[in-house]
Amino acid sequence: MLKKTMSLLRKKEARIAYLFLFPTLAGFATFVIGPMFASIFISLYKWDILGSPRFIGLSNYLHLLKDGRLLTCYSNTFRFVIFAVGFNVVSALLIAVAINAKMNNVLRGFYRSAVFLPVMLSAAAVSVVWFFLLDTDFGVVNYYLLKLGFKKIPWLTSSRYSLLSIVLVDVWKILGFNVVLFSAGLQNIPRHLYEAALIDGASRWHSFRYITIPMLSPTLFFAIVWALIGAFQVFDYPFIMTLGGPGDSSRTIVLYLYEHGFRFFSMGYASSIALSLFMIILLLTLLQLRLGERWVFYG
């Protein structure tokens, strides 16, 4: 009798749990799983939205292998990911360590708020503002470079600097999120570890290398995975600031995907590009999870 009552209670609790989970699961299925399967289906067709789709099998995927511009876009995207994620994580860690040092709490709060402010802005608004700031002839950045005795830099109109400009804007926009993330992680490191290291004669560098980094490794791991996935999907900055130019120098893979889908109305090919990007992000994430087992310390 008691077992039967317990079983009924568990079933009732399970039904309530499923009821609470239903909105999230329904949204995930509608906006993530559904479009993903639709994208796989569309990638097997030639379709311009206006006409009827025509089945062409794996032709879109074979075209991917021959598309030279696709390689250029992937090359730009990988360079953007390496520099943006590298600058972002290293800079944020150094700033978080500096903010976490002994100082007035009001001053610490001011620094955190100031560095986090760009995170709250939309990427489109940030792109428009930096488009004018980096203008070669009328931009504020070049104005101060001239005042300091440097030459004007064609930030957005030179293939040498266009991708670098997008990296700098992305780092400026995202940096604050990782600073707050690392600050929270630093505050969770027990102080007695640093006190013991100080008594043993460890330098600041040794404390940072053998205490801060290992204890902060789960936060570092999350920040790197999150930043890498976001960097692969960069779209707003090149779309608004450079339109992928000059030439293809700042054209990223998501911008290329957008152009094929909504400018050339080649939905099948755009879907095949999207799936190739999905596979690359998935493989890199799995690789990071595997490598994370070697250097992430969960205490």
pLDDT tens digit sequence for 56-68: 989 999 999 988 8
173-206 per-position pLDDT tens digit: 999 999 999 999 998 888 888 889 888 888 888 9
Q: What is the pLDDT of residue 287?
A: 92
Residue in 81, 23, 118, 52 with CA at minimum distance from that of residue 230: 81
User: Counting Cβ atoms within 10 Å, is residue 163 exposed (0-12), middle (13-18) or buried (19+)?
Assistant: buried
pTM: 0.87
CA pair distance 123, 239, nearest whole angstrom: 11
Whether residue 232 contacts residue 26, with contact meaning beta carbons closer than 8 Å, is answered with no
